[in-house]
Amino acid sequence: MKQEKPKGVYRWALSYLRPYRKRLLILLSLTIVEIVSGLLLPWPMKFIVDHALGSEPASGPASDWMAGVISFLGANRVAMLALGCVAYLIFHYASEFISVAHTQMQQSIGQRLIFDLRRQLFGHLQSLSLRYHLKRGPGETIYHIENDSYCVESLTLGGVLPLASSAATLGAMFVVLLRMNWQVALLSLLVVPFLLWVNRHYAERIVDRSERVKTLEAGLINLFHEVFTSIRVVKAFGREPHEQQRFKDQGATTLDERIKLTLQESLYAAMINVVTTGGTALVLFVGGYNVYRQRMTIGDLLVALTYLGSVFGPLVTMSHTFGNVQASVASARRALRTLQTEPELRDRPGAVEAGRLRGHIEFRDVHFHYDDESPVLEGVSFDARPGQMIALVGLTGAGKTSLVSLIPRFYDVISGQTIVDGRDVRDYKLRSLRDQIGIVLQEPVLFTGTIADNIRYGRLDATDEEVIAAARAAYAHDFIMSKEDGYQTMLGGDEGIYLSGGERQRISIARAFLKNAPILIMDEPTSSLDARAEASIFETMRELMMERTTIVIAHRLSTVRDADKILALDGGRIIDEGRHEELLRRVPLYRELCERLAMGDIPAQDEMELANAEVA
């Protein structure tokens, strides 16, 4: 992907301001008022020094007005002093008030910008493929949404606006100074080219470096995420010191880069200071000389110095935050790169809504591999008719999970076709296709929320009765009711309880049942259940399965035995398919598998009795 130059990044960031035109207009007006009030600030001081204390004739831009005041108050110096002080107070208070309003308005726009970008990133990242997320890891994604979205604010309101307002202030003050003393006015501009040079020199370095730091920091967050989501394993293996070491190594590199970045930022700020202090000293000297030569009053010099301070002041503070602005360019590049990443799986042009499918699944000579290109599925073909139950058996790593992942298009085939109801899955609108498929994943995943919420995730508009019916079918109702809060029991979060593996599995089965889709895929759905629970679930499933095609990656012989068709998968190929008895006769591998599966099994007759006892 081509690297966006900062300029492109600014344009992109500015485009986020579009919806806030009205607020922006208010903000700009406030900025102008702020600049004008900044211009007025030193004048009461000049009035006091030149006219109340000294005896200078009125001079400068407002000289007529000033002369009027002086002649009105005549020789009453104390009155003039008091007037000067009152004006001083009013001007400063007013300017303070304006700056509060300005900050508030700026924040109210800025926070909205951040939220907008965050929402966009969140949406876009969700649309990217499973492959993308598996490769990238959740930590980095979280850092990305959380951290990088600030860039849109700091590039626009935080960066450009103060710079623009400093430039405008400088221009306005130049005009005022020009009417007081042209030499001083010109000198105050002398610093500008130097400032530009300093900027150019440091900007690109800071951007590059902070991009590196951000990538490293994201990696660190990924490590946290990994450790704390797998804290059981870490503890079980006593690997805390190992993780600590990993953190230390990775953290040390990050720290190193961060410190180098800080050095660049400090150097930059120091250079800005050197330039502006030099400029101020020059103005002080030339202005002082002019005062000495009586071409300028002390009050004028005060005004000039205050003006310089109010232009340079923001520049210097900005240079401290300038590092942030430059870091934001790095953030913006990352954000842009994400937003420009095309979702890998797109709807083909002319893709159709799936509607209610019948559930006829067909694989035609499907070849598939992951990124490393070692073949996972080779020439897989089979046919599953609506209402059939297909069992998939095979050794671990045979490609069972990969095979079923192709039906809801978690991945696309490399060659061949996956066909549902006579149409290639790529010709359906992705969302509508997945709406027709219920899945129980190999690893049950539960969200923070109540048990009912977790089941309802399968179909958000399901009624309570439907949720309970699904839970009953998944043999989960009894254990749910045994919890104090029943279906309202919280999972996860501070108050939440922890469920056993089998309980989690049953909830995820209930979720898939609730979806009531014509295709049901179950990846070892009952691996952590006892034989009795499993028997009950398959008993109810038998009824449900009438109207749907079920593909189950089987774990127990009892399941396999009842399947309409068994696919024996070995090394990515279907070595045989048929009913239980046929495969037993024909396929040695299948015989071996069945012997192993049988060890955890109970005879079919007992299962039925148990299930019936359960129902009664």
- Residues in contact with ligand UTP by CB under 6 A are 370, 372, 376, 394, 396-402, 442
Task: Give whichever of 156 and 401 is closer to Mg ion, judged by the CB atom.
Answer: 401
Task: Give whichever of 523 and 539 is closer to ligand UTP, judged by the CB atom.
Answer: 523
Residue burial 95-112, b: 16+ Cβ < 10 Å; e: rest: beebeeebeebbeebbeb
Q: Cβ(548)–Cβ(554) under 8 Å?
A: no
Task: Give whichever of 169 and 402 is closer to ligand UTP, judged by the CB atom.
Answer: 402
Q: How far is the CB of 441 from Mg ion (least distance, A)?
A: 9
Q: How far is the CB of 606 from ligand UTP (least distance, A)?
A: 27
Task: Give whichever of 210 and 401 is closer to Mg ion, judged by the CB atom.
Answer: 401
Task: Give whichever of 370 and 447 is closer to ligand UTP, judged by the CB atom.
Answer: 370
- Binders of Mg ion among residues 285 to 324 (CB under 5 A) are none
Residue burial 298-311, b: 16+ Cβ < 10 Å; e: rest: bbbbbbbbbbbebb
Q: How far is the CB of 596 from ligand UTP (least distance, A)?
A: 13
What's the CA gap between 116 and 531, in Å, rounded?
A: 51
Residue 432 contact partner, candidates ligand UTP, Mg ion, none, CB within 5 to 8 A by sort of partner: none
Backbone φ and ψ of 4, nearest 5°: -70, 130
The Cα-based distances of 264 to 7, 68, 166, 267, 330 in angstroms read: 21, 54, 23, 5, 15
Q: How far is the CB of 397 from ligand UTP (least distance, A)?
A: 4
Task: Give whichever of 454 and 505 is closer to ligand UTP, judged by the CB atom.
Answer: 505
Residue 370 contact partner, candidates ligand UTP, Mg ion, none, CB within 5 to 8 A by sort of partner: ligand UTP
The residue behind tokens 């071409």 is 295
Q: How far is the CB of 569 from ligand UTP (least distance, A)?
A: 7
What's the CA gap between 205 and 203, in Å, rounded?
A: 6
Q: How far is the CB of 366 from ligand UTP (least distance, A)?
A: 13
Q: Which stretch binds Mg ion (CB under 5 A): 105-113, 220-228, 247-255, 397-405?
A: 397-405
The Cα-based distances of 613 to 30, 115, 533, 605 in angstroms read: 78, 56, 12, 13
Task: Quickly count helices (H) and strands (E) in the chain.
Answer: 24, 12
Task: Give whichever of 188 and 402 is closer to ligand UTP, judged by the CB atom.
Answer: 402
Q: How far is the CB of 420 from ligand UTP (least distance, A)?
A: 20
Q: How far is the CB of 400 from ligand UTP (least distance, A)?
A: 3
The Cα-based distances of 133 to 12, 17, 118, 219 in angstroms read: 25, 30, 17, 14
- Token readout for 300 is 């004028």
Residue 402 contact partner, candidates ligand UTP, Mg ion, none, CB within 5 to 8 A by sort of partner: ligand UTP
What's the CA gap between 178 and 140, in Å, rounded?
A: 54
What's the CA gap between 493 and 448, in Å, rounded?
A: 6
Residue 71 contact partner, candidates ligand UTP, Mg ion, none, CB within 5 to 8 A by sort of partner: none
- At position 134, the amino acid (one-letter code) is L
Q: How far is the CB of 485 from Mg ion (least distance, A)?
A: 34
Half-sphere exposure of residue 258: CA atoms within 13 angstroms, side-chain side: 12
Residue 396 contact partner, candidates ligand UTP, Mg ion, none, CB within 5 to 8 A by sort of partner: ligand UTP
Rounded to 10 degrees, the C-alpha dihedral 201/206/209/215 comes to -150
Task: Give whichever of 314 and 375 is closer to ligand UTP, judged by the CB atom.
Answer: 375
If you ran DSSP here, which 8-state letter would residue 423 be given? E
Task: Give whichever of 243 and 570 is closer to ligand UTP, judged by the CB atom.
Answer: 570
Task: Give whichever of 343 and 397 is closer to ligand UTP, judged by the CB atom.
Answer: 397
Backbone φ and ψ of 361, nearest 5°: -110, 135
Q: Cβ(414)–Cβ(375) under 8 Å?
A: no
Task: Give whichever of 304 and 376 is closer to ligand UTP, judged by the CB atom.
Answer: 376
> Exactly one of 181, 210, 401, 540 binds Mg ion (CB under 5 A); which one?
401
The residue behind tokens 């509060």 is 100
Q: Which stretch binds Mg ion (CB under 5 A): 14-22, 352-360, 396-404, 490-498?
A: 396-404
Asked if 188 touches Mg ion (CB under 5 A), the answer is no
Beta-bridge partner residues of 570:
573
What's the CA gap between 279 and 294, in Å, rounded?
A: 22
Q: How far is the CB of 525 from ligand UTP (least distance, A)?
A: 12
Residues 6+ apart with CB under 8 A from 151: 13, 117, 328, 329, 331, 332, 335
What's the CA gap between 257 and 211, in Å, rounded?
A: 10
Residue 399 contact partner, candidates ligand UTP, Mg ion, none, CB within 5 to 8 A by sort of partner: ligand UTP
Q: Cβ(600)–Cβ(531) under 8 Å?
A: yes
Task: Give whichever of 141 and 401 is closer to Mg ion, judged by the CB atom.
Answer: 401
Residue 398 contact partner, candidates ligand UTP, Mg ion, none, CB within 5 to 8 A by sort of partner: ligand UTP
What's the CA gap between 492 and 115, in Å, rounded?
A: 26
Count the site residues for Mg ion by CB under 5 A. 1
3-class secondary-structure state, position 364: strand
Q: Which stretch binds Mg ion (CB under 5 A): 56-64, 300-308, 400-408, 474-482?
A: 400-408
Residue 376 contact partner, candidates ligand UTP, Mg ion, none, CB within 5 to 8 A by sort of partner: ligand UTP
Q: How far is the CB of 399 from ligand UTP (least distance, A)?
A: 4
**Among all residues, whose Cβ is closest to Mg ion?**
401
- Token readout for 316 is 């210097």
Q: How far is the CB of 406 from ligand UTP (least distance, A)?
A: 10
Task: Give whichever of 254 and 526 is closer to Mg ion, judged by the CB atom.
Answer: 526
What's the CA gap between 275 and 316, in Å, rounded?
A: 10
Residue 355 contact partner, candidates Mg ion, ligand UTP, none, CB within 5 to 8 A by sort of partner: none
Q: How far is the CB of 400 from Mg ion (least distance, A)?
A: 5
Pairing mode, strands 573-578 and 361-369: unpaired
Residues that bind Mg ion (CB under 5 A): 401
